[in-house]
Amino acid sequence: MDATRDLVIMTRGLTKDYQMGSETVHALRGVDLEIRRNEYIAVMGPSGSGKSTLMNLIGCLDTPSGGEYVLNGQAVQDLDDDELARIRNREIGFVFQTFNLLPRASSLHNVELPLIYGGVGSAERRERAEEALRMVDLGDRMEHKPNELSGGQRQRVAIARALVNRPSILLADEPTGNLDSATSAEIMAVFEHLHKNSGQTIIMVTHEYDIAAHAERVITLRDGQIESLDADITVPHAVAQ
């Protein structure tokens, strides 16, 4: 198998600087990263380690100050806002800690949202949104609004929304941060299922070891640099603090 063709994400010397008043903050100081198709990865690191910045860059919500970022064979570091929006729409599915569902819209409409911006016609939109909702076992909650759903169900709607445009990566930022442990397990089961049966590439930021333990590989960051590309988190103190 050709290793480069199988790469979903490749970064080389990725840096990101912020201007905070007169001071320049170096949030990322040269990150080299390779993630292959169908990998299930957890990203960990203390706050200020740069993991949020890295996620924003991988998610094409932001552009790097320096370095290279190749997503699915396309260099994205120099794209403009509209091209980034298109990449986010096609290649990336976001799952947020706070779900970020539109409160007055039905599950179906929430899931349809990325398809609207993808220019998909309404009949196909509906069909694909229904399919995505069935995939997360919410076939019977299509017309429910977020406030009529439990936390776990809301997050599953959000996962359906992230998947509906068949993105190359699912980017989850603390997906269980607002959920109790039973519901967290439910969501992890959904990820597990997607990883095993749909061949979905999953990148998940978390600070919980038991959640990170579901991933195949754990990447840790410290001070804006990769600390480990395959950390052993069975020994917690080796990672954090």
Residue with tokens 């998940």: 204
Closest separation in Å from C-beta 168 to other proteins: 14
Q: Is 154 in the site for other proteins (CB under 8 A)?
A: no
Stretch that binds other proteins, among 2-10, 20-28, 81-89, 211-219 (CB under 8 A): 81-89
Query: For other proteins, which stretch binds (CB under 8 A), given 20-28, 57-65, 180-188, 195-203?
Result: 57-65
Site string for other proteins, 109-148 (x = CB under 8 A): ----xx-xxxx-----------------------------
- Applying CB under 8 A, among 59, 64, 146, 224 the residue interacting with other proteins is 59
Span near other proteins by CB under 8 A; candidates 27-35, 80-88, 148-156, 207-215: 80-88
Residue 35: which of 232, 215, 223 has the closest Cα?
Answer: 215
Q: How far is 59 from 20, CA to CA, in rounded Å?
A: 23
- In angstroms, the CA 30 to CA 165 distance is 31
In angstroms, rounded to a whole number, what is the distance separating the alpha carbons of residues 114 and 92? 10
Phi, psi at residue 95, to the nearest 5°? -125, 125
Burial of 237 (0-12, 13-18, 19+ CB in 10 A): exposed
Asked if residue 100 binds other proteins (CB under 8 A), the reply is yes
Q: Does 96 bind other proteins (CB under 8 A)?
A: yes
Task: Count the residues in the chain.
Answer: 241
In whole angstroms, how close is the CB of 80 to other proteins at the nearest point? Answer: 10
56 binds other proteins per the rule CB under 8 A: yes
Binding piece for other proteins, criterion CB under 8 A, among 14-22, 23-31, 93-101, 179-187: 93-101
Q: Give the separation between CA 11 and CA 224, rounded to whole angstroms.
A: 14
Number of residues that bind other proteins (CB under 8 A): 24
List the one residue from 26, 90, 145, 207 that touches other proteins (CB under 8 A): 90
- Is residue 25 a contact residue for other proteins (CB under 8 A)? no
Which residues are near other proteins by CB under 8 A?
56, 59, 61-62, 81-82, 85-86, 88-90, 94, 96, 100, 102, 104, 113-114, 116-119, 161, 165
